[in-house]
């Protein structure tokens, strides 16, 4: 395969256009980087190539011949290979067995497995990539993540009849150390020399500049740039990723920030994050930003007491706060809206009432142990109204509500204790535009009442539109705190991509 | 469409009435009488107690396979103490204590160590049974060692002279336990929290519920329930043997499952568990009276349980 062309690729999810009219050309022997913010359409494009999503419209040409992908099997038969962060490695099998997962085992006399041949073929495949330090008889559990990735790549070379032609790497270095990444880049180079097409998706700007030949940038499902990497700079790429100024479309902040400090986090470490330092005043919104998986989730785990502190101190409402668990945090009037609504926040088969009152049973009860049904109904009705929930009655099971309304239940639960500090982890993920605006208005309402807010969002426009200060995380460590009114979104994004020693 | 919804919701209940009608027709003079139903209530009282307290753990999506051997062990502990000459109240307290400790041990394995309930309680099932054999020396402890005050409890009851009936204490005790479990699950914040854990364990932890402590305590309740059932059994047969509770576990779980087919979202509710127990009790009573072979009876009961659960899971999937 010399050339792979995607023409007029369009894919929409109900009314939302994930990709519109995207055309890209990939050439053999070239590493083509695909960039864009979260939600720009990168993942959708990859899933179309893998045959997992069916495009609304697309013409695909391989060496000028039209081809179709209807299923993941067809995608595999065309020689497309996908390397994700999450490797489908079976850790209790050997390297060689893992490499043969998708291939028939060679046999002696048509009956007994020919292990010698298996070991030989797999070590040959590794050698072709220039990898000699992995013993193919070893259990995969004993390999590092980086080496497991190399095994996965090499397993694509086992098949001898058709040579794999396209390798798609989806954020491959997210879980790798620097040395492991270097090894991976060498292997990618070897693949390139063998005439493969490499499609490389990553958020790490330095990597992209180092190893790619061409860059394509997507923004809101539209291709905004394709050029040779040598002609591009970091600044130019970032500018085209962000595009317009982002802080439009957000309700205006009207509340005043109070002088009283709600929480003061002083040089806190846990087993997962380091050097966290911030203060939030009453009515202030602190944004958390950074590349994905830089420690955002772990900040919330620290504040809720899921991960215990190993160093540092926190004072909350002028008192020493040592987080020991979510139960204690809720009791102290810290409310939490977790990231994954269905998994971490809701009991889907249970009622609006149960879901709203769960963290507050002790406060609602009579004599500390009797459920107080009257009060439960009252609180549920009040707060459902406050968040403008659309529902039939409070005993309705929550799976019958739309995503946006489910999220409003999570909010009404968080508000029901009149919190002093509200923790929001991706509060508008998977929520429609109308509900989003309602949620933003709620946040503003809360700041007026003197509640401090921590808001993590992978949607940069949300951070720019809602926050007073922005804490930037990098590699599970606090990198900087920026005052929002002094900067624009390009500066913030540029901070994500700066390396620490610059 | 409406009819389908009715069947979906009340299918098991309709089935229950179907069974009653069937037996009434086939056993016209003996089945549908107050005396027979009082008899049934006594027959099922031990199963009922185990099933009610089993509901407590099943609310959290856990279950306890060790209840049967716990019932055996508790009965043996009491009987051995009786035979050594200790007073009745010491024997009863010791048996209940064993129930709490055994239940806490189950809870510890499941909640603190993190073993799947299936594996953990399968292990303790064997352990408790082994202890029962060890303490009793493998033999049945007979009537002369059991104080008559203890065994007369199961034979007496409240006389209703105007009707010439006697409501057995065993049935009244089962009703009392039903009330206690219903109160805990439906009327207290503790029960609310157990249902939240069953709805979504991770979410309830993040919403401030102390999941570990609650799971631990719920298993203790189930352990006590099993011990009470063991005592009831020993009192009824005026003896204790180390395998007396062995049939209880499967039937108790079956009763809870039957009950779950009747609730709104398929969650266990103790009043529906009562219906599950009644279905099993009525089937057993009626088939015995019709002289159906006991092996065939087991096949039939198993089949009916599967039928009810399969029916409800098929109709719920369509939903």
Query: pLDDT tens digits, chain A, 502 residues: what are they?
Result: 788 999 999 998 766 788 989 999 999 999 999 988 767 888 889 999 998 888 999 999 988 899 888 888 888 888 888 887 667 788 899 999 999 987 888 888 888 999 999 999 999 888 877 888 899 999 999 988 788 888 888 887 776 555 668 999 888 877 677 777 888 898 889 888 888 899 998 877 888 888 999 999 998 889 998 999 999 888 888 888 877 544 456 787 766 788 899 999 999 999 999 999 999 999 999 999 988 788 999 999 999 999 999 999 999 999 999 999 999 999 999 999 999 888 999 999 999 999 999 999 999 999 889 999 999 999 999 999 999 998 889 999 998 888 888 999 999 999 999 999 999 999 988 777 678 888 999 999 999 999 999 999 888 888 888 999 999 999 899 999 998 777 888 888 888 877 654 4
**ipTM of this complex:** 0.90
Question: Does residue A175 contact residue A85 with C-beta atoms inside 8 Å?
Answer: yes
- Residue in A closest to B191 by C-alpha: A371
CB contact under 8 A, B200 and A361: no
Beta bridge partners, B141, equal B240
For residue B265, the distance in angstroms to the closest alpha carbon of chain A comes to 6
- Residue in A closest to B207 by C-alpha: A359
Asked if B187 is an interface residue toward chain A (Cβ–Cβ < 8 A), one would say: yes
> What residues of chain B lie within 8 A of the CB of A370, using their CB?
187-189
Once rounded to an integer, what is the mean pLDDT over residues B258-272? Answer: 91
For residue A367, the distance in angstroms to the closest alpha carbon of chain B comes to 10
CB contact under 8 A, B202 and A344: yes
Q: How many beta-carbon pairs under 8 angstroms link A with B?
A: 83
Contacts 24+ apart (CB under 8 A), B167-173: B167/B38, B167/B41, B168/B38, B168/B41, B168/B42, B168/B45, B170/B42, B170/B45, B170/B46, B170/B232, B170/B235, B170/B236, B171/B38, B171/B41, B171/B42, B171/B45, B173/B45, B173/B49, B173/B228, B173/B232
Beta bridge partners, A61, equal A5, A66
Distance CA B128, CA A134 (A): 50
> What residues of chain B lie within 8 A of the CB of A346, using their CB?
200, 203
Q: How far is Cα of residue B3 from the mean position of the Cα atoms in its chain?
A: 33
Residue B72 above 90 pLDDT? yes
**Residue ranges of the domains in chain A?**
3-242, 261-333+418-495, 348-417
Between B100 and A193, the higher pLDDT residue = B100
At B66 the pLDDT is 97
Asked if B316 is an interface residue toward chain A (Cβ–Cβ < 8 A), one would say: no
Q: For residue A331, give every residue at least 6 positions away whose Cβ sits within 8 Å of its Cβ, in sequence order, or none.
A: A362, B208
Asked if B86 is an interface residue toward chain A (Cβ–Cβ < 8 A), one would say: no
Q: For residue B184, give every residue at least 6 positions away whose Cβ sits within 8 Å of its Cβ, in sequence order, or none.
A: B56, B190, B191, B221
The residue among B28, B46, B17, B48 whose CA lies nearest residue B289 is B28
Q: Taking the CA atoms of A358, A360, A365 and A369 in sequence, report the sign of the dihedral they define.
A: positive
Distance CA A123, CA A154 (A): 9
At A249 the pLDDT is 65
Distance CA B124, CA B122 (A): 6
- Best of A307, A339, A350 to disrupt the B interface (most B CBs within 10 Å) is A350
> What residues of chain B lie within 8 A of the CB of A330, using their CB?
207-208
Distance CA B123, CA B131 (A): 13
**Residue ranges of the domains in chain B?**
40-245
- What residue has token string 């000459």? B85
Phi/psi of residue A93, nearest 5 degrees: -100, 160
CB contact under 8 A, A361 and B266: no
| CA–CA distances in Å: residue A437 to residues A252, A403, A440, B144 | 11, 14, 5, 79
At A345 the pLDDT is 95
Asked if B191 is an interface residue toward chain A (Cβ–Cβ < 8 A), one would say: yes
Other CB atoms within 10 A of residue A318 CB: 10
Distance CA A185, CA B288 (A): 76
At B316 the pLDDT is 64
- Residue in A closest to B267 by C-alpha: A349
At A262 the pLDDT is 95
- Residue in B closest to A306 by C-alpha: B206
**What would the two tokens of residue A302 be?**
């620290």
CA dihedral in degrees (B243, B248, B251, B257; nearest 10)? -140
Name residues 241-300 of chain B within 8 A of A (Cβ). Answer: 264-267
- Residue in A closest to B266 by C-alpha: A349
At A255 the pLDDT is 65
At A502 the pLDDT is 42
CA atoms within 13 A on the CB side of A372: 16
CB contact under 8 A, B210 and A327: yes
Q: Which residue blocks in A142-265 are alpha helix, DSSP H?
A: 145-155, 178-193, 205-211, 234-242
Mean pLDDT of chain B: 92
**What would the two tokens of residue A159 be?**
């098949």
Q: Taking the CA atoms of B309, B311, B316 and B317 in sequence, report the sign of the dihedral they define.
A: positive
Asked if A358 is an interface residue toward chain B (Cβ–Cβ < 8 A), one would say: yes
CB contact under 8 A, B200 and A338: no
Comparing CB atoms, the residue among B191, B205, B264 nearest residue A326 is: B205
The residue among A457, A393, A399 whose CA lies nearest residue A426 is A457
**What would the two tokens of residue B45 be?**
């009282």
- CATH number of the domain at A261-333+418-495, out of 3.90.1170.30, 3.20.10.10, 3.40.50.300, 3.40.190.10? 3.40.50.300
Once rounded to an integer, what is the mean pLDDT over residues B10-23? Answer: 91
Contacts 24+ apart (CB under 8 A), A363-368: A363/A417, A364/B189, A365/B189, A368/B189
Question: Does residue A344 contact residue B203 with C-beta atoms inside 8 Å?
Answer: yes
Q: Taking the CA atoms of B188, B190, B194 and B196 in sequence, report the sign of the dihedral they define.
A: positive
The residue among B12, B69, B53, B55 whose CA lies nearest residue B282 is B12
| CA–CA distances in Å: residue B197 to residues A345, A371, B190 | 12, 16, 11
- Best of B187, B203, B260, B319 to disrupt the A interface (most A CBs within 10 Å) is B203
Q: For residue B18, give every residue at least 6 positions away whose Cβ sits within 8 Å of its Cβ, in sequence order, or none.
A: none
Dump pLDDT digits (tens) for B213-237: 999 999 999 999 999 999 999 999 9
Distance CA B297, CA B282 (A): 12
At A247 the pLDDT is 44
CB contact under 8 A, B196 and A336: no
At A2 the pLDDT is 85
Question: Does residue A269 contact residue A275 with C-beta atoms inside 8 Å?
Answer: yes
Question: Full-prediction pTM beyond 0.80?
Answer: yes
Helix (H, G, I), strand (E, B) or coil at B263: coil
Question: Does residue A381 contact residue A394 with C-beta atoms inside 8 Å?
Answer: yes
Local structure of residue A343 (DSSP, 8 states): I
CA angle A347, A350, A351 (to 5 degrees): 120
> What residues of chain A lie within 8 A of the CB of B187, using their CB?
370-371
For residue A372, the distance in angstroms to the closest alpha carbon of chain B comes to 8
Taken as a whole, chain B contains a residue count of 319
Name residues 402-421 of chain A within 8 A of B (Cβ). Answer: 413
CB contact under 8 A, A349 and B196: no
| CA–CA distances in Å: residue B86 to residues A76, B98, B238 | 77, 16, 16
Distance CA A470, CA B254 (A): 56
CATH topology of A3-242 equal to that of A261-333+418-495?
Answer: yes
Local structure of residue A487 (DSSP, 8 states): -
Least confident residue range of A278-287, A454-463, B107-116, B250-259 = A454-463
Strands (E), A341-492: 421-425, 452-456, 469-474, 477-483
Q: What is the 3-state secondary structure (H, E, C) of A66-93?
A: EECCCCHHHHHHCCEEEECCCCCCCCCC
Dump pLDDT digits (tens) for A45-84: 999 999 888 899 999 998 889 988 888 888 888 888 888 7
| CA–CA distances in Å: residue B313 to residues B59, B256, B310, B317 | 18, 15, 5, 6
Q: What is the 3-state secondary structure (H, E, C) of B76-138?
A: HHHHHHHHCCCCHHHHHHHHHHHHHHHHHHHHHHHHHHCCCHHHHHHHHHHHHHHHHHHHHCC
Asked if B176 is an interface residue toward chain A (Cβ–Cβ < 8 A), one would say: no
Name residues 3-22 of chain A within 8 A of B (Cβ). Answer: none
> What residues of chain A lie within 8 A of the CB of B204, using their CB?
347, 358
The residue among B281, B277, B231 whose CA lies nearest residue B72 is B231
Phi/psi of residue A243, nearest 5 degrees: 70, -115
Distance CA A149, CA A131 (A): 12
CB contact under 8 A, A343 and B200: yes
Local structure of residue A349 (DSSP, 8 states): T
- CATH number of the domain at A3-242, out of 1.25.50.10, 3.40.50.300, 1.10.1240.10, 3.30.365.10? 3.40.50.300
The residue among A169, A239, A221, A228 whose CA lies nearest residue A197 is A169
For residue A300, the distance in angstroms to the closest alpha carbon of chain B comes to 11
Strands (E), A172-306: 197-201, 214-219, 222-228, 261-270, 276-281, 285-289
Distance CA A439, CA B114 (A): 38
Question: Does residue A42 contact residue A201 with C-beta atoms inside 8 Å?
Answer: yes
Asked if B196 is an interface residue toward chain A (Cβ–Cβ < 8 A), one would say: yes
Asked if A333 is an interface residue toward chain B (Cβ–Cβ < 8 A), one would say: no
- Best of A297, A342, A358, A373 to disrupt the B interface (most B CBs within 10 Å) is A358
CB contact under 8 A, B196 and A347: yes
Distance CA B29, CA B26 (A): 9
At A246 the pLDDT is 45
């Amino acid at each position: 395969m010399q050339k792979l062309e995607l023409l007029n690729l369009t894919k929409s999810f109900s009314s939302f256009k994930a990709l519109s009219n995207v055309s890209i050309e990939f050439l053999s022997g070239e590493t083509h980087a695909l960039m864009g913010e979260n939600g720009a359409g990168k993942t959708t494009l990859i899933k179309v190539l893998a045959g997992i999503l069916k495009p609304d419209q697309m013409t695909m040409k391989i060496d000028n011949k039209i081809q179709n992908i209807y299923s993941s099997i067809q995608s595999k038969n065309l020689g497309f290979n996908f390397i994700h962060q999450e490797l489908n490695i079976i850790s209790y099998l050997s390297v060689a067995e893992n490499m043969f997962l998708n291939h028939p085992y060679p046999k002696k006399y048509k009956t007994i497995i020919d292990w010698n041949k298996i070991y030989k073929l797999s070590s040959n495949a590794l050698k072709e990539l220039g990898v000699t330090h992995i013993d193919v008889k070893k259990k995969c559990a004993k390999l590092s993540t980086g080496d497991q990735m190399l095994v996965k790549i090499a397993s694509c070379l086992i098949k001898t009849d058709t040579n794999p032609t396209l390798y798609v790497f989806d954020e491959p270095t997210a879980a790798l150390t620097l040395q492991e990444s270097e090894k991976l880049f060498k292997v990618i180079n070897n693949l390139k020399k063998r005439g493969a097409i490499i499609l490389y998706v990553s958020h790490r700007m330095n990597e992209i500049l180092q190893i790619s030949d061409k860059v394509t940038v997507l923004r809101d499902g539209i291709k905004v740039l394709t050029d040779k990497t040598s002609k591009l700079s970091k600044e130019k790429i970032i500018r085209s990723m962000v595009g317009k100024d982002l802080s439009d479309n957000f309700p205006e902040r009207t509340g005043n920030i109070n002088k009283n400090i709600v929480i003061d986090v002083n040089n806190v470490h846990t087993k997962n994050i380091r050097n966290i330092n911030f203060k939030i005043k009453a009515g202030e919104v602190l944004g958390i930003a950074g590349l994905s998986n830089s420690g955002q989730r772990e900040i919330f785990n620290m504040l809720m007491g899921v991960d215990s502190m190993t160093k540092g101190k926190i004072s909350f409402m002028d008192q020493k706060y040592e987080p020991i668990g979510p139960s204690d945090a809720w009791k102290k009037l810290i409310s939490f809206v977790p990231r994954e609504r269905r998994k971490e926040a809701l009991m889907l088969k249970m009622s609006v009432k149960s879901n709203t009152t769960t963290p507050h049973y002790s406060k609602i009860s009579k004599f500390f142990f009797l459920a107080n049904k009257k009060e439960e109904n009252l609180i549920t009705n009040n707060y459902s109204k406050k968040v403008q929930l659309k529902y039939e009655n409070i005993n309705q099971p929550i799976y019958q509500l739309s995503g946006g309304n489910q999220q409003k239940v999570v909010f009404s639960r968080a508000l029901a204790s009149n919190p002093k500090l509200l923790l929001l982890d991706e509060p508008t993920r998977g929520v429609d535009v109308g509900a989003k605006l309602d949620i933003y208005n709620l946040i503003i309402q809360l700041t007026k009442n003197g509640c401090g807010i921590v808001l993590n969002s992978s949607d940069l426009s949300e951070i720019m539109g809602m926050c007073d200060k922005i804490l930037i995380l990098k590699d599970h460590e606090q990198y900087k705190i920026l005052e929002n009114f002094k900067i624009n979104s390009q500066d913030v994004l540029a901070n994500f991509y700066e390396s620490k020693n610059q | 469409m409406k009819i389908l919804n009715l069947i979906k919701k009340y299918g098991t209940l309709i089935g229950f009435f179907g069974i009653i009608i069937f037996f009434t027709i086939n056993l016209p003079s003996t089945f549908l009488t107050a005396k027979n139903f009082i008899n049934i209530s006594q027959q099922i009282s031990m199963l009922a107690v185990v099933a009610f307290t089993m509901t407590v753990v099943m609310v959290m999506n856990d279950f306890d396979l060790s209840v049967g051997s716990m019932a055996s062990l508790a009965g043996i502990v009491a009987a051995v103490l009786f035979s050594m000459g200790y007073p009745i109240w010491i024997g009863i307290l010791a048996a209940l204590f064993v129930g709490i400790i055994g239940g806490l041990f189950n809870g510890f394995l499941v909640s603190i160590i993190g073993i799947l309930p299936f594996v953990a309680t399968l292990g303790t099932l064997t352990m408790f049974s082994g202890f029962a054999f060890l303490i009793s020396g493998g033999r049945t402890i007979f009537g002369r060692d059991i104080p008559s005050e203890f065994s007369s409890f199961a034979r007496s009851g409240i006389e209703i002279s105007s009707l010439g009936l006697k409501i057995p204490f065993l049935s009244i005790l089962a009703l009392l336990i039903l009330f206690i479990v219903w109160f805990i699950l439906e009327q207290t914040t503790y029960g609310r929290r157990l249902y939240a854990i069953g709805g979504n364990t991770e979410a309830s932890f993040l919403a401030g519920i102390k999941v570990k402590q609650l799971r631990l305590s719920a298993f203790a309740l189930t352990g006590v329930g099993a011990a009470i059932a063991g005592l009831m059994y020993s009192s009824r047969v005026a003896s204790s043997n180390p395998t007396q509770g062995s049939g209880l576990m499967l039937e108790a779980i079956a009763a809870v499952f039957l009950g779950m087919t009747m609730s709104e979202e398929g969650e266990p509710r103790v009043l529906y568990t009562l219906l599950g127990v009644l279905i099993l009790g009525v089937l057993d009573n009626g088939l015995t009276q019709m002289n159906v072979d006991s092996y065939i009876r087991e096949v039939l009961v198993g089949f009916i349980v599967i039928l009810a659960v399969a029916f409800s899971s098929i109709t719920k999937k369509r939903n």
